[in-house]
A = this chain, B = another copy of it.
Amino acid sequence: MKAKKNIVIVGVGLIGGSFALRCRSLGWAQTLIGVDNNPHHAQQAIELGLVDTMATLEEAIPKADLIVLAIPVNAVPTVLQSVLDAIEDQVVMDMGSTKSQIISAVEHHPKRGRFLASHPMWGTEYSGPSAAVDNAFQGKAVIFCDAEKTDADARAHAASLFSDLGMRIIEMGAVEHDLHAAYVSHISHITSFALANTVLEKEKEGEAIFEMASAGFESTVRLAKSSPAMWTPILMQNKENVLDVLNEHISQLRKFKSCLEKENWEYLNELIVNANQIKRIIH
């Protein structure tokens, strides 16, 4: 049995809160300490039992064995630097959806080796402490980026922790991660945001959509409920990759437009047959 740890979770929202719940269920933590600069979220995190206590970062770090950053990616570089400045040899992880800028920000930090950049491939369209879900990570993938820059003991510690959460660990470079994340996650959010804006623009009154909306519509616009505080920074940090995929996506949509305009039904059918190949990837 592993020794219980004091775990500090910076950002007690959807991801941090879900991680906290699981730490508690698995009996890992001696004390779960939350850090959050939103007083309402801090209060909710206590009320919902996500953490045992809330503290400032300065108070929390000396008590911590493990520090997890689950805050919007634009906040990670600065907070991560402060954390690395303050730790001795504790392990520090982030859980952000982008990796290159975060890793670059601490590239030359003397405590760089204590940091492991991770991205658990789970989320929902909801946010804040009340969105936290127990056992959210079970069976999902977690990406470790540039893990060779992390000290062997810290890397092993993180690997053991995510394995115990039931996650598959995949290692890749930060550049590669950000490219693939644009394809499999970031573009889905943009299409969903844009689809919501399209329908809201076209159906100002909303009555007919409300009555007619079915599961298919809900499925494609669900992500449009996602938090701007989380998603604007992700799209900012992954701008180049996202633009590349977005340009391809607009060009694919133009093929559908052209088929309709030219009544080229044979090619329209081919485009749909080709899209059906996604069955190879999702089941």
Contacts and interface: CB of A to CB of B under 8 A. Distances in A.
Residue from the set A203, A208, A261 with the largest chain B CB neighbour count within 10 Å = A208
Interface in A224-253: 224-226, 228, 231-232, 235-236, 239, 242-250, 252-253
Interface stretch (A9-17, A21-29, A158-166, A176-184): A176-184
A197 B271 contact: yes
Give chain A's interface secondary structure class: helix
A265 B228 CA distance: 11
A193 B275 contact: yes
Nearest to A239: B260
B246 A256 contact: yes
A212 B194 contact: no
Interface in A52-82: none
Contact of A220 (B191, B231, B269, B274): B191
Contacts of A247: 257
Interface string A252-278: 111111001101010011011111111
A214 B140 contact: yes
A201 B181 CA distance: 15
A202 interface: yes
A223 B216 contact: yes
A237 B223 CA distance: 29
Interface of A: 121-125, 140-141, 143, 168, 170, 172, 176, 180-181, 183-185, 187-203, 206, 208-226, 228, 231-232, 235-236, 239, 242-250, 252-257, 260-261, 263, 265, 268-269, 271-282
12 contacts: A125-B216, A189-B216, A191-B253, A195-B249, A197-B255, A199-B281, A221-B282, A222-B282, A225-B279, A236-B263, A243-B260, A243-B261
